Chains A and B, each alone.
Chain A
Amino acid sequence: MNGISFTLNGREVTYTGSAADRLLDVLRRDYGCTSVKCGCKEGECGACAVLVDGVLLNSCCVAMGAVDGAAIVTMEGYCKTERFAVLDRAFADLSAVQCGFCIPGMVLAAEALLAKNPHPTEAEIREGLSGNLCRCTGYNAIVNAVENAAKEGNGLW
């Protein structure tokens, strides 16, 4: 079969458009994944971040040709996981969500970090989230929420 096949939030899909199309545009337009936000389209803000085979990538800088055979996770899928539930409670407890635009990317960045390093120090969290811009919060609440989630979710990551 012609096309680019990959799994999107666990579901197998085949994209038959151009291999040069941007993953960001395709996810939003063809698969309705509007949790994936466009903040710059130049790989600088992290609002469009998704997990590609567990690695955090800015989907605005990924061409469709590069995801053939990959497993892609966006918030549409991730929000159904147990790990999300832990992060969700931690963010809620600290009122860490303001305008919300950076949040899907930020949460996936937290997932990518915790998957690699389940018990990060504060400095490691700050470093791990530093590719995701947030203009609202000043980051303290987000960093503390990730720290709390790591403690709460002991064993989940």
Chain B
Amino acid sequence: MENISRSVVKKDHAPKMSGRSIYVSDYQTAQSGERILTGKLLRSTLAHARVLGVDVPELPEGYFYVDARDVPGDNNVNIVLDDTPVFCRETVEYIGDPIAMLCGPDPDEVERLVKACRVRYEELEPVLDLAAGQEAFFDYRFGHGDVDAAFAAADKQYDETFETGYQDQTYLEPQGMMAEPEADGGMYVHGSMQCVYYVHGALPRVLACAPEKVHVFQDVTGGGFGGKEDYPSVLGCQVAVAARKCGAPVRCVLDRREDLACTSKRHPSLCRYRAAVKDGKVTALEIDVRFNAGGYSTLSAVVLQRGIIAAQGVYNIPNLRLRGRAIKTNTVPNGAYRGFGGPQTFFAVEMMMDHIARDLGVDALAFKEAHLVKKGDSTSTEGRYHFPVPLPGMIDQVDAACDLRKKRALYSQPQTGRYRRGIGTSLYFHGAGFTGSGERDLIKAVAKLRKYADGTVEVLAANGEIGQGLRTTFPKIVAQELGLPLEKVSYNHPDTARVPDSGPTVASRSLMVVGELLRRAAAKLKAQWRDGEEQEVEERFREPDFLIPFYLDKFSGDAYPTYSWGVNAIEVEVDTYTGKTKILGAYGSFDVGTPIDEKIVIGQMEGGFLQGIGYASIEKMAYDHTGRIRSNSFSDYLIPTAADVPNLKCMLYVEKYPEGPYGAKGAGELPLVGAPGAYVEAMEQALGGVSLHHAPFTAEDTMDTIVKEGL
């Protein structure tokens, strides 16, 4: 193992282990020593309505009602577009849409006041059906080759539709933000978040102040997984407006039901795939992707882009025609969740390949292998796979761990008896970094190192530790490059008053992109090192020169400089009497380049893979005919426990990326992406070779299938 990969004790281990870390809900007073007011949101109870007015109960002394009229500047939160209001405008667009915030010293009283508010609505017709939704926030089309000719020449054609549901990030710490007015008229906003500069970017416009008048700090954050990418900008603006009006610090921490029902989730999807096959090969795909965006556009543009770019999977498909839409519905706005659009389309393409293979009478894994991309091949957007594609070696690694090929053959034989088995596989990638030219044109990351006179070095960057280990891995890279002991290099939670904008903590980019800036900065510092002096060095992002420029209007060029790769196999045993499924083993081979700390990377893989298995099997959330999400507690929305998948094996496979620090690539999102395809494929095998089209595939679905198929 390389030196950089050797594991160390994580720098934030001790305070977290002993429970001393201060999360946003743990502050007993504000910075100034003042009492913190509790803020609680009054939310819409209808999916679509005009708000005629709110009858606010009489407020006791020291209590405040805050709504859109109190926004000093523009009532819009800057995300990708600016359509998300701080507090609702004339209409509400989903159940949970914030109308106002009530604030005051006693949380119970605030709660009582929220309940006592009477909102007068004029009901409007809500759009709830993803399949029928007409309005698209975003509508993209691209493709290559001649799809019509390929269909005309095909031996066989297929037409199937795949569906995936919501998935909630379910970070253990609910969303929470706090705003504290400062003596000089400034506003200090802090809390649980991934992206300090996103919040920082949104505030000045809302508060109608100069950017210098706000600063944002990331508190210790109890998990994010994408869920704290954009939502903290919304909640941060709400508490800041409230703090401005109250003239006092205001904190709003969501309760779990509120968090489950009212914050962004993974987009439910509907993907129709038409395939043309000639001589045993897929010659064309025509794909129609619909993502349920919800009531406002938030991050749907970028989630959809990533999803559709991945829609042809890891396969060479000579002809492609694709349309992708983010449909507006009157439901909670969906956003970022680990995988960012990829899990939906990879599920669809993996199932499609599986179904075609079975129809042709060949093994699905062999069929997929016959279509695999390799180095030098063209991507879906006519960019290039510039580096070796390690999938064949990774398949072998998984095969060695679980006898994949043998079991696939065995379980495809007719099974009898109460318990039936299946094993499924998925092959996939995750494009590392922002899609397209985002890193170059939008993010323009800057990172710094500050060396103090005593020879210690501090990393200055904006990426947040959210459990993924950045407070350890950033210093490891710098210490290695400088030849310093790790204790001499530190990285704190970012404060926009102190650190440059190295971009958001998203897209599996922090380690690969910002980590490389830090490595280069460290090399520079080493060359200029002067003992006993304070010194600062800076590095800026520059695009690797091998890239084929990406044009978003045409969806052409390199969408990503490189890819992380995954191969999963999941083995199940179905009890045909009860419908219960036991996961006998879940095996993942993951290529994230050089691990910058092996145990941290394995921890990311295990955590992400288990989230993916939850998404595939038990995490079911849906709304009813009024648009209300009913599964809004941990007794209705189940996530995996320690007892659910005892045999979870994650393995690393290293294909280095020369432009990443020591060869590292993006890691955080990859392990989640492939689980639904592998799991549902396994269920198909266990259920006698049925064709399945949706995830999650729950115990109830299993029972339905058993009854229907007479198993």
Q: Taking beta carbons and an 8 Å cutoff, which residues of A are in contact with B?
A: 28, 32, 34-42, 44-45, 47, 74-76, 79, 84, 88, 91-104, 107, 122-123, 125-127, 129-143
Contact = CB atoms under 8 A, between A and B. Distances in A.
Given A32-B28, A99-B466, A102-B172, A75 B642 contact: no
A41 B22 CA distance: 19
Contacts of B220: 100
A140 B171 contact: no
Contacts of B161: none
Contact of A135 (B9, B170, B600, B602): B170
Given A92-B9, A100-B12, 5 more contacts: A34-B26, A40-B256, A42-B256, A101-B23, A127-B642
A102 B172 CA distance: 7
20 contacts: A32-B28, A34-B23, A34-B26, A41-B256, A76-B19, A79-B17, A79-B18, A88-B17, A92-B14, A95-B469, A95-B600, A98-B223, A99-B16, A99-B467, A100-B220, A101-B171, A125-B642, A138-B610, A141-B602, A143-B642
A135 B599 contact: no
B4 to A, nearest CB: 15
Contacts of A96: 603
B18 A34 contact: no
A28 B19 CA distance: 12
A54 to B, nearest CB: 19
Nearest to B221: A99
Contact of B223 (A91, A94, A135, A142): A135
Nearest to B634: A44
A95 B603 contact: yes
Nearest to B260: A40
A134 to B, nearest CB: 7
B633 interface: yes
A139 B639 contact: no
B652 to A, nearest CB: 14
A103 B28 contact: no
A124 to B, nearest CB: 10
Contacts, number: 171
Query: In terms of DSSP, what is the predominant structure of the interface of chain B?
Result: loop
Contact of A45 (B19, B172, B599, B609): B172
- A-B interface, 6 closest residue pairs, ranked by CB to CB distance from nearest: A35-B19, A100-B16, A101-B222, A138-B606, A99-B467, A98-B467
Most A C-beta atoms less than 10 A away, residue of B9, B17, B606 = B17
A129 B646 contact: no
Given A40-B256, A79-B18, A126-B646, A139 B13 contact: no
Contacts of B7: 95
Contacts of B602: 141
B223 A40 contact: no
Most B C-beta atoms less than 10 A away, residue of A95, A122, A132 = A95
B25 interface: yes
A140 to B, nearest CB: 5
Contacts of A138: 603, 605-611, 645, 648
A133 B634 contact: yes
Nearest to A141: B603
A97 B13 contact: yes
B642 A126 contact: yes
Contact of A88 (B18, B170, B223): B18
A38 B25 contact: yes
Given A34-B26, A42-B634, A103 B17 contact: yes
B336 to A, nearest CB: 15
A142 B14 CA distance: 15
A43 B144 CA distance: 53
Contacts of A125: 642
B3 interface: no
B255 A41 contact: yes
B13 to A, nearest CB: 5
A127 B23 contact: no
Most A C-beta atoms less than 10 A away, residue of B172, B606, B640 = B172
A101 B444 CA distance: 32
B10 interface: yes
Contacts of B607: 98, 135-138
A41 B645 CA distance: 26
Contacts of B14: 88, 92
B685 to A, nearest CB: 24
B500 to A, nearest CB: 25
B611 A130 contact: no
B173 A101 contact: yes
A139 B466 CA distance: 17
Contacts of A132: 642
A42 to B, nearest CB: 6
Contact of B19 (A79, A92, A123, A134): A79
Contacts of A129: 641-642
Contacts of A100: 12, 15-17, 21, 220, 222, 467
Contacts of B634: 40, 42, 44-45, 133
B228 to A, nearest CB: 11
B143 interface: no
B701 to A, nearest CB: 23
